């Protein structure tokens, strides 16, 4: 099956216009068929040894969202102390989550022992299962964009808060918490780029031939 030019254009359009969304969520519910397509796309991610280690926990209850939001506020306050001077002021001004505004939260987990202790492709690099679950996150993020749904990854929360809120056993790794919903707009550039936090690297600085090369420092403008 060949991909037509129109289909290829749609894939690239989705990739380049996907954004991390933390603001401007609309409260509109996500229709079941849309959500099913997005989750099916996530479930079709590649995985080491085809172990499919992920699970998707859907979060809609305001109490659960509020608990996770409180966890964010605590972790965010801790993070603020790690930045200094003007950078700290700038950090504090950023909107870094839409936990309560987004109609849906999705927690992606990884069951590291899902298919037993010896897994094809994981024998030399055991962390490959975690990377596989991240592939599911990216598939979900892109499929959401193709459905005109915004998604934002919130990692400024300690695992314990998410674990306690969503009853996730210690044996299961927490990979991501995403806020998902329809949005007012998708911006052309990342929020952090527009805020002057960091610029996008030129792709030529990321591509090397035959040996790794150090990249010039990548600092805010
Ligand atoms: C693993 C991981 C974890 C996080 C993120 C991303 C990823 C990949 N990002 C989003 C991140 O800031 C964003 O992807 C970049 O700024 C680039 O912007 P676009 O995603 O292209 O809009 C993110 N954003 C945010 O506001 N709060 C957060 O806690 C996180 N955490």
The answer to whether 133 touches 110, Cβ cutoff 8 Å, is: yes
pLDDT score for 216: 72
Token duo for residue 218: 């990548």
**Amino acid 215: pLDDT:** 80
154 lines ligand 1 (CB under 6 A): yes
Q: Is the CB of 195 under 6 A from ligand 1?
A: no
Neighbouring C-alpha atoms within 13 Å toward the C-beta of 97: 22
19 lines ligand 1 (CB under 6 A): yes
Q: Report CA Rg, the chain.
A: 19
Whether this model's pTM surpasses 0.95: yes
In the prediction, which pLDDT does 16 show? Answer: 98
ipTM of the complex: 0.99
Pairing of strands 172-182, 104-111: antiparallel
Residues 164 and 68: their CA atoms lie apart, in Å, by 10
The closest-lying atom of ligand 1 relative to the alpha carbon of residue 96 is 26
Instruction: Quote the pLDDT of residue 51.
Output: 98
Measured between alpha carbons, how far is 4 from 8 in angstroms, rounded to an integer?
Answer: 6
Looking at residue 219, its pLDDT comes to 67
Q: What is the 3-state secondary structure (H, E, C) of the chain?
A: CCCCHHHHHHHHHHHHHCCECCCCECCCCCCHHHHHHHHHHHHCCCCHHHCCCEEEEEECCHHHHHHHHHHHHHHHHHHHCCCCHHHHHHHHHCCCCCCCCCCEEEEEEEECCCCCCCCCCCCCCCCHHHHHHHHHHHHHHHHHHHCCEEEEECCCCCHHHHHHHHCCCCCEEEEEEEEEEEECCCCCCCHHHHCCCCCCCCHHHCCCCCCCCCCCCCCCC
Tokens of 32: 């079941």
Question: What is the per-residue pLDDT for 217?
Answer: 66
Ligand 1, atom 8: closest residue by C-alpha: 153
Report pLDDT for 114: 97
Please give the pLDDT value at position 220. Answer: 66
Cα–Cα distance between 60 and 79 in angstroms, integer? 27
215 lines ligand 1 (CB under 6 A): no
Q: Which residue numbers in the chain have pLDDT < 50? A: none
| 116 CA from centroid of ligand 1 (Å) | 32
135 CA → ligand 1 middle, Å: 15
What is the pLDDT at residue 8? Answer: 98
């Amino acid at each position: 099956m060949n991909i037509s030019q129109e289909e290829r254009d749609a894939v690239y359009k989705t990739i380049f216009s996907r954004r991390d969304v933390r603001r401007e969520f609309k409260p509109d519910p996500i229709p079941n068929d849309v959500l099913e397509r997005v989750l099916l796309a996530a479930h079709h991610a590649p995985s080491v040894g085809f172990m499919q280690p992920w699970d998707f926990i859907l979060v809609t209850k305001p109490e659960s969202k509020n608990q996770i939001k409180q966890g964010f506020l605590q972790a965010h306050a801790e993070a603020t102390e790690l930045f200094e001077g003007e950078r700290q002021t700038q950090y504090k001004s950023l909107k870094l989550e839409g936990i309560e505004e987004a109609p849906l939260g999705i927690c992606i987990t990884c069951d590291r022992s899902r298919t037993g202790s010896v897994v094809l492709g994981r024998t030399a690099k055991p962390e490959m299962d975690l990377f596989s679950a991240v592939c599911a996150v990216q598939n979900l993020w892109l499929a959401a964009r193709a459905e005109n749904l915004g998604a934002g990854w919130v990692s400024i929360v300690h695992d314990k808060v998410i674990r306690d809120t969503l009853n996730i056993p210690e044996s299961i790794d927490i990979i991501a918490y995403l806020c998902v919903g329809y949005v007012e707009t998708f911006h052309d550039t990342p929020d952090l780029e527009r805020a002057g936090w960091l610029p996008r690297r030129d792709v030529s600085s990321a591509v090397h031939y035959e040996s790794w090369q150090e990249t010039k420092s990548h600092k805010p403008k």
